[in-house]
């Protein structure tokens, strides 16, 4: 499982921990600079409370679930997607809430990736006599991939999305917009936009397509909108383009990938075009590649999805019509 596949396909299982993961998914895109976290409290094999971290500064998932559980949390098992915190931030440590509630057992999906605090929460709980199990769940790891990269490297987690013909082209001719994907693929892309902090395109995409870069759905309103970023080294775009609309969503025009890091986003969806994708690949900045393939052929005059590379690039992971895999230089 990867972060992108998680946000597009959701959690399929029905275990208690799967329910905690589904709770956590409710917070994706809203918790910056914190990770999304979900929690369920179970007693006598019955669900007694749920919780998720909805927004930085608000209650953490464990505290919210324990508040709902009240006195029934005594002797319960708490399933949580991330190791409970043991430090003061905007809210008190979750470990103290767990101890105070009389929880008997804690099962968490992944250790806190912050090297300064990892393992501290589990240690405090064990010292208080609580049974603690870390299960290293792959979906829990995928859930916080953007947070993990951001907290360790101070760089955004990058998902690169591209839609091509069977022969690897993104347009029939240079400067011409070519529709590639159908409703299902477009819904996935808009779900990616909704989940990421920002969407980035190059100046050529703005000039040819004049995109809005908003998340839109036929059956529901978008829960949130991403910031919009244009990589425009030659300053070819202008305020009349839709990407710079004066609304509640910020827009940025940058000239280098170094500037992207300075914006402080935790996750960024890169939607092209080909030159932008090539730049990200060449600089080893792509964490996941979402590759949509349309059942059409555009021929040799078509615009290639990827430009010239200085060396071959090997992608780790599987490949299907929607490739969602880790990306690294060979």
Q: Are 84 and 112 within 8 A, CB to CB?
A: no
**Phi/psi at 323 (5° precision):** -85, 120
Helices and strands (H and E) in the chain: how many:
11, 15
The residues near 138 (Cβ < 8 Å, ≥ 6 apart) are 1
Report d(CA 188, CA 221) in Å as an integer: 15
As to burial, measured by CB atoms within 10 angstroms (0-12 exposed, 13-18 middle, 19+ buried), residue 327 is: buried
Q: Are 176 and 139 within 8 A, CB to CB?
A: no
Element (H, E) at 55: none
Per annotation, catalytic residue among 62, 83, 97, 271: 62
For the question of residue 62 being annotated catalytic, the response is: yes
Report d(CA 277, CA 300) in Å as an integer: 20
| 70 three-class SS | helix
Buried b or exposed e, range 146-157, using 16+ CB within 10 angstroms: bbbbbbeeebbb
Question: Which of the residues are catalytic?
Answer: 62
């Amino acid at each position: 499982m990867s972060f992108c596949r998680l946000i597009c396909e959701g959690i399929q299982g029905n275990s208690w921990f799967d329910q905690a993961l589904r709770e956590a998914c409710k917070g994706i895109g809203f918790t910056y600079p914190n990770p999304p976290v979900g929690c369920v409290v179970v007693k006598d094999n019955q669900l007694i409370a749920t919780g998720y971290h909805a927004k930085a500064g608000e209650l953490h998932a464990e505290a919210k679930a324990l508040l709902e559980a009240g006195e029934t949390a005594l002797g319960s098992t708490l399933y949580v997607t991330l190791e409970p915190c043991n430090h003061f931030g905007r809210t008190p440590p979750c470990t103290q809430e767990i101890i105070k509630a009389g929880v008997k057992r804690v099962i968490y999906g992944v250790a806190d990736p912050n090297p300064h605090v990892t393992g501290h929460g589990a240690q405090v709980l064990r010292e208080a006599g609580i049974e603690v199990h870390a299960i290293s769940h792959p979906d829990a790891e995928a859930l916080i991939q953007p947070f993990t990269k951001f907290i360790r490297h101070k760089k955004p987690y990058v998902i690169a999305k591209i839609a091509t013909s069977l022969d690897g082209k993104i347009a029939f001719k240079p400067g011409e917009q070519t529709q590639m994907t159908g409703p299902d693929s477009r819904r996935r892309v808009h779900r990616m936009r909704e989940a990421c902090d920002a969407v980035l395109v190059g100046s050529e995409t703005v000039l040819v397509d004049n995109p809005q870069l908003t998340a839109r759905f036929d059956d529901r309103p978008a829960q949130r909108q991403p910031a919009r970023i244009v990589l425009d080294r030659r300053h070819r775009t202008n305020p009349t383009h839709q990407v710079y609309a004066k609304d509640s969503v910020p827009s940025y025009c940058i000239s280098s990938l170094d500037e992207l890091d300075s914006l402080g986003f935790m996750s960024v969806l890169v939607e092209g075009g080909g030159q932008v994708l090539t730049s990200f690949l060449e600089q080893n900045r792509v964490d996941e590649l979402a590759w949509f393939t349309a059942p059409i052929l555009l021929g040799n005059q078509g615009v290639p999805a990827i430009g010239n590379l200085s060396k071959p690039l090997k992608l780790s992971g599987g490949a299907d019509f929607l490739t969602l895999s880790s990306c690294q230089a060979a």
